[in-house]
Structure 1
């Protein structure tokens, strides 16, 4: 290689570690903010124990976190399509943490709902912009996006452990200590924002070239909704259900929630790797077929084997997670913020809208009856994905033909 070629390659070689560092920091920040999504469902058993809430009232807390988040996330996505707002990352992380930190201080049900809703707004503001910045930092890599997404899985996984460590020892009055991850997450994202200064991460958002495939995006969004209802439904009630089916105590329920969340980290990383071998649509379709069997096992199989099916369900639901984000961004190349807000944010929050209905059925009949309909939803997602195309990767521009010799 010539001296000039080596000199030209040095900026690219230096850029790769910087990009990897940025994705790592974004993943860490994603973990810090998604702790608060996982904390809502992890706090539900403590609200039931200390305040004698019914299943329906407890699931109303999940609804409060989800309702405003479901509405706000597409709005924040549309805003980030028009203007880049990287400052939202530290601000929204703090908002998500403060809401959860205050949720245990008042015994008033309405105030508890309000604080949890504030946390949901913070989470809603975070996801569209973080997905846009992560795509920018990762140069659109599916594997890098899976590592960004896995940060959220880790945050979810550690939420029940964090809540148990803080609240189980001192009660709900100790929830202010849960603000610590928010403080850490707001600091972690600052180096990324500095590294991306001068790019399209600041000022007016850059619009990617391409044609939006709205029909495919809507179909994808419906599949995301099915996945979300299964995930949030299990997140809300798996602690109670595991205790019933295994005859264990609080530890048995916390372990089931931890397995549900931690298995998502494995599934997300696997999804990025599998998409490098097969196309994303094929990987997601096969994953949803696995999930049908896994959810059936959760609902129908008693005893310790329940944990195996919880792990399989988690992997089956999370293999599609980051792949659906990049698919959505490729279906809407001119509105990647909106696509990220729907596929990344609503993948978790919209399922909370169905939680009160599941809670009402559980109160009227049993948890097993309430969870049984969740078996069918991955099958619906599989059917929806059978109609979806794999977005074509734009071909590089052809070199101009040589001019004819004079």
Structure 2
């Protein structure tokens, strides 16, 4: 006979949890085989090399295609702005994250369409042709103006970069997060994560039966550790139910290893921005502090987790815990306190062959350059010249289309080039 205070334990859910997080590799492999999956789903939010969400306007142009490929190779989350879905899929592939909008039509560039973004690269068709620059066709001023005005409300604050943007649901987000509840320790709490149009919902029912009392959602291990050493901490945008939750980061790939935790209170039905300095994260193992482990290494983030638990730390009870149904709505997870990086990379065509290619010569500025400068958005302008137009004894590095695309991606991670103009000649 079962003890009076016990509740039936779900062994099937226990095995399913272990399989989802590859704790039982052979079982996970067989499960994928029966589902027709040939490999593990992509399990990193950013490829784990770079963080951030980048919008590429003009993604189907020759330059735009090169830029998209390099951003993805660097690990960025890329959203490609395309004129229509079929053309975008044909040129960029069926797996690309496409946004159908027209930069000439401001009403198509809504906050809901764009989602939260960290940077924009504008690659207009008129800037480059396969044979080189069409110097007689400068970039369209109103296109740039429309794009900058639409992006300004959804751009991250300078010094912030996006870890997870739940305002823009995607298949990769859905495949990355799973539930880890007290069923792994004999409990009966249950939780799950739902992606809505504008947020993620961490919902469920937490029970103290069978000496349990926690529910959580956790990411699979990222394919490579994410480096956040240039940032001060993590910023959450959440709406809770009055419970006190935990946010945890892990710096090792062990299933049951040390995590770095911070507790935060919520106010029922109220959006809150929670800043968690890395210095405030406490090393814990099964809700017990492990002071000998020292501070977190922010350059080695392997996974993260949200949790509701009846316990705080070292046997103390959570002062704002209520068993039963719960809900935590999550809009985003960002890193904050980093350097100011370029957030608008504009490709511009030189308006005069006599330009000295410097920022001080205002006569060489095109209208789109002036607009970007006056927008207040941290930017880098890459002004392009035909190599045949360079006069006098001034020289520019002559670059290929591939070189220009690589340069545009590299400047996104270089604080020293924000609000600067870089001149390049192209064959």
How high is the TM-score relative to the length of structure 1? 0.28
* Structure number with bigger Rg: 2
**TM-score normalized by structure 2?**
0.27
Name whichever structure is richer in strand by fraction: 2
Point out which structure has higher relative CO (alpha carbons under 8 A, 6+ apart). Answer: 1
Larger helix proportion of the pair: 1
